[in-house]
C-alpha cells in the first residue's frame, strides 16, 4: 500500500523589490531592545563623537543613553517645566540643548549633568509657547530655537540673550535646522505649509517654499546645498542655491512622515512615519533602498555616525535600540577541543570490501501538515478550516488555494464549504476578500465565491458580522470589475491610436484626419470591447 503524498504547494515569484546590498546591510541590525517610557519619545539625537551616546526627549526629561550597553548614561529632568522637546548635541558632544513646554531653552553639560544656561521668557526676550526644536549653529556659540509662538530665535550663549528674532510664519513651527558649513544659515518648517531660509545677517527670510502640508521635519544635507522637508505623506527635496527649486518629491509612506535623519556618512537618509515604517533613501537617486518595520507609530529616530546603532522613538512610549551585529573574526574563534577517546569514532577511513553487506539507512517519514492529515482521511471540511487557520498566522494564501484546488479536483468542494459555523464562514469570506482580485488566485477564488453564494445566500443576513463580510466581498468584486473595465477601455484607446498611427499617407506623414475621427469614436469602441469582455 502506497503512503499518502503531501499536497504540493506551488511557489509564486515574489512581487516587489529584490534583496539588494542595502537591504542586507540594514538587516544586520540586531533584535531591538525595547525601553518603555511613561510618555511619547518625541526627539532623538546622536552625538557626533564616540562612543556615540544619544539623547532622547520624553515626558519631562531628557535621557542620555549608551547604545553599546542600552543603559541610561545621564538623566536631565530637574529644570524642565512641562514636557521636554528638541534635544540636540553640540559638535564636540559635550553639551546638549533642549526646549520645554513653557518656552524655555536649556543648555546642559553632560559630564556633570548641570544646567549651564537657561534662556527664559523674560522682558529681554523669550518664547511664549513651547519650544519644539533647538540646535547649535555652526560656530557653537549660538543656539537657534523654533517655537509654537511662530518665532525663530537666535541666542548668544555667552551673554545669555536673544540677539535675533524672525517672525514670518503664520502657524506653529515644529521643524528646524542649520547649515553645517555656514554659521549664518537657518531653516524652519511650519504648520503653515512653508519652509523658510534665513540669513542672520539679514532681517528677513531669504526665500520661502510651499511644502503643501504641515511640515513635521527638516533635514539639511552635509553639503548644505540641499534641504529635505517632510510633512503629510510627502518628502520633498529643495535646492538651496537656486532659491528653493524643487528637485524631487517622494510619496512612499501612507501616513504622516514625522522625522528624518542622516545615515551612512551622508550617503543615505531615513524617514519615520505614523505607518510604523522606517524607510532608507539614497541621496543621489532619492529612491527607497530598504524598509524597517516597527510595532507602533514612529515619532523620532536617529542613527550613529558609523551606523552601529539605531534608535527609534514611538508614540506609545517605546524606545527601540538596535545594534549592528559585529562580523565574526575567524582568527579569534576558540578552537574546538578534541573529543574524548570514549566518543571518538574509530576507523574513520574504513573502506568496505566486496564481501561486506551494505545496510541502507531508513529515512523516517516526515510528519504531515494538519491539512494533509485531514485530506488523507477525506475530512474535506476540516482540511479547509485548518488551512484557513494556518493562513491567519503564517500568511500563506498559496497553501489555502492549493487545498481548494485539491478539493475541486476531488469534487468535494461543496461538502467542504457547506455546514460552516458563522465564525469559520467569516474566516472564509475574509480570505476571499483579501485575495479574490489577485491574478494568481482569481480563477479558483471566483468559482469558490460562487459556490459559497449558492449555499449561504438564504442565510446571508443572519448576523451582523456575516452581513458586513458579504458587503465587503461585494465591494471588493465591484472594485475589481471596475479596474478591468478601465484596463479594457485603455486597451481599446491604445489600439485605435496605434492603428491610426500606422495609416500614413504616401509622403510618409500621419493622416491627422483619420486620427481625429478615430479618437472621436474611441468611446463607442471601448464600450463595445468592455461588453464583449464581460
- Asked if residue 488 belongs to a domain, the reply is no
- Asked if residue 354 belongs to a domain, the reply is no
CB atoms within 10 A of CB 329: 7
Structural domain including 90 reads 21-323
How many Å apart are CA 297 and CA 275, to the nearest integer? Answer: 6
Q: Are residues 285 and 379 in the same domain?
A: no
Q: Are residues 215 and 90 in the same domain?
A: yes
Three cell numbers at 223?
Answer: 553639503
Considering its fold, how many domains does the chain have in total? 2
- Please list, in sequence order, all residues whose beta carbon lies within 8 angstroms of the beta carbon of residue 229, skipping any fewer than 6 positions away: 175, 189, 195, 209, 211, 215, 217, 218, 235, 236, 238
CATH code, domain with 239: 2.130.10.10
How many Å apart are CA 433 and CA 404, to the nearest integer? Answer: 16
Q: Are residues 310 and 388 in the same domain?
A: no
Three cell numbers at 346?
Answer: 574509530
Position 506 scores a pLDDT of: 43
- Asked if residue 178 belongs to a domain, the reply is yes
Cα distances (angstroms) measured from residue 145 to each of 101, 175, 299 = 13, 10, 20
- Asked if residue 313 belongs to a domain, the reply is yes
Q: Are residues 125 and 247 in the same domain?
A: yes
Q: Are residues 94 and 223 in the same domain?
A: yes
- Asked if residue 310 belongs to a domain, the reply is yes
- Asked if residue 506 belongs to a domain, the reply is no
Three cell numbers at 253?
Answer: 509612506
pTM for the structure as a whole: 0.64
Q: Positive or negative CA dihedral for 126, 129, 134, 137?
A: negative
Position 529 scores a pLDDT of: 36
Position 260 scores a pLDDT of: 95
How many Å apart are CA 125 and CA 123, to the nearest integer? Answer: 5
Taking only the tens place, the pLDDT of each residue in 103-150 is: 889 999 998 888 888 888 655 567 888 999 999 999 989 999 999 999
Three cell numbers at 330?
Answer: 575567524
Position 528 scores a pLDDT of: 36
- Asked if residue 245 belongs to a domain, the reply is yes
Position 517 scores a pLDDT of: 52
Position 465 scores a pLDDT of: 80
Q: Which of 446, 466, 481 is the last residue of a domain?
A: 481
Q: Are residues 377 and 319 in the same domain?
A: no
- Asked if residue 330 belongs to a domain, the reply is no
Q: Which of 457, 481, 505 is the last residue of a domain?
A: 481
First vs last C-alpha separation in the chain: 49
How many Å apart are CA 70 and CA 348, to the nearest integer? Answer: 49
Q: Are residues 249 and 139 in the same domain?
A: yes
Q: Are residues 291 and 380 in the same domain?
A: no
For residues 335-349, b (16+ Cβ closer than 10 Å) or e, as one string?
eeeeeeeeeeeeeee
Q: Are residues 292 and 376 in the same domain?
A: no
Q: Are residues 247 and 382 in the same domain?
A: no
Q: Which residues partner with 324 through β-bridges?
A: 29
CB 283 within 8 A of CB 269: yes
Position 55 scores a pLDDT of: 93
Parts of the chain with a pLDDT under 50: 1, 343, 505-507, 509-510, 512, 515-516, 519-520, 522-534
Q: Are residues 149 and 208 in the same domain?
A: yes
Q: Are residues 374 and 319 in the same domain?
A: no
Q: Which residues partner with 195 through β-bridges?
A: 189, 209
Amino acid at each position: 500500500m502506497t503512503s499518502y503524498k503531501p499536497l504540493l504547494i506551488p511557489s509564486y515569484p515574489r512581487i516587489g523589490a529584490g534583496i539588494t546590498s542595502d537591504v542586507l546591510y540594514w538587516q544586520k541590525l540586531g533584535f531591538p531592545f525595547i525601553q518603555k517610557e511613561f510618555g511619547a519619545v518625541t526627539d532623538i539625537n546622536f552625538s557626533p563623537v564616540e562612543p556615540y551616546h544619544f539623547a532622547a526627549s520624553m515626558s519631562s526629561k531628557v535621557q542620555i543613553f549608551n547604545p553599546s550597553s542600552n543603559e541610561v548614561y545621564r538623566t536631565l529632568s530637574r529644570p524642565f517645566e512641562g514636557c521636554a522637546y528638541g534635544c540636540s548635541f553640540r559638535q564636540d558632544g559635550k553639551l546638549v540643548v533642549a526646549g520645554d513646554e513653557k518656552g524655555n531653552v536649556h543648555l546642559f553639560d553632560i559630564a556633570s549633568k548641570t544646567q549651564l544656561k537657561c534662556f527664559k521668557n523674560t522682558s529681554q526676550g523669550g518664547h511664549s509657547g513651547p519650544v519644539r526644536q533647538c540646535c547649535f549653529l555652526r560656530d557653537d556659540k549660538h543656539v537657534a530655537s523654533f517655537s509654537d509662538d511662530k518665532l525663530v530665535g537666535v541666542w548668544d550663549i555667552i551673554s545669555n540673550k536673544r540677539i535675533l528674532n524672525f517672525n514670518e510664519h503664520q502657524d506653529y513651527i515644529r521643524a528646524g535646522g542649520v547649515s553645517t558649513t555656514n554659521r549664518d544659515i537657518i531653516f524652519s518648517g511650519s504648520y503653515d505649509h512653508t519652509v523658510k531660509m534665513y540669513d542672520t545677517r539679514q532681517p528677513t527670510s531669504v526665500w520661502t517654499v510651499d511644502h503643501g502640508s504641515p511640515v513635521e521635519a527638516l533635514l539639511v544635507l552635509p553639503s548644505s546645498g540641499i534641504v529635505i522637508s517632510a510633512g503629510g505623506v510627502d518628502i520633498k527635496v529643495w535646492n538651496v542655491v537656486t532659491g528653493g527649486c524643487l528637485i524631487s518629491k517622494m510619496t512612499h509612506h501612507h501616513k504622516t512622515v514625522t522625522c528624518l535623519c542622516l545615515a551612512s556618512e551622508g550617503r543615505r537618509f531615513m524617514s519615520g512615519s505614523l505607518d510604523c515604517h522606517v524607510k532608507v533613501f539614497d541621496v543621489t537617486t532619492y529612491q527607497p533602498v530598504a524598509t524597517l518595520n516597527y510595532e507602533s507609530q514612529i515619532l523620532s529616530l536617529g542613527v550613529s555616525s558609523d551606523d552601529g546603532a539605531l534608535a527609534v522613538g514611538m508614540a506609545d512610549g517605546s524606545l527601540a535600540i538596535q545594534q549592528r551585529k559585529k562580523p565574526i573574526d575567524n582568527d579569534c574563534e576558540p578552537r574546538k577541543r578534541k573529543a574524548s577517546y570514549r566518543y571518538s569514532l574509530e576507523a574513520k577511513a574504513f573502506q568496505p570490501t566486496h564481501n561486506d553487506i551494505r545496510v541502507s539507512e531508513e529515512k523516517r517519514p516526515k510528519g504531515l501538515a494538519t491539512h494533509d492529515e485531514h485530506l488523507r482521511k477525506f475530512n474535506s471540511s476540516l482540511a479547509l478550516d485548518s488551512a484557513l487557520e494556518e493562513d491567519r498566522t503564517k500568511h500563506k494564501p498559496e497553501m489555502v488555494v492549493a487545498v481548494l484546488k485539491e478539493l475541486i479536483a476531488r469534487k468535494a468542494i461543496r461538502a467542504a464549504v457547506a455546514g460552516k459555523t458563522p465564525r469559520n464562514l467569516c474566516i472564509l469570506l475574509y480570505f476571499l476578500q483579501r485575495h479574490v482580485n489577485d491574478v494568481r488566485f482569481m480563477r479558483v477564488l471566483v468559482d469558490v465565491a460562487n459556490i459559497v453564494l449558492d449555499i449561504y445566500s438564504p442565510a446571508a443576513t443572519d448576523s451582523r458580522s456575516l452581513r458586513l463580510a458579504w458587503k465587503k466581498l461585494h465591494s471588493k468584486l465591484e472594485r475589481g470589475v471596475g479596474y478591468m473595465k478601465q484596463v479594457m477601455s485603455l486597451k481599446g484607446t491604445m489600439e485605435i491610436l496605434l492603428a491610426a498611427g500606422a495609416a500614413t499617407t504616401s509622403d510618409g506623414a500621419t493622416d491627422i484626419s483619420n486620427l481625429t475621427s478615430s479618437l472621436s469614436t474611441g468611446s463607442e469602441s471601448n464600450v463595445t470591447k468592455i461588453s464583449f469582455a464581460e
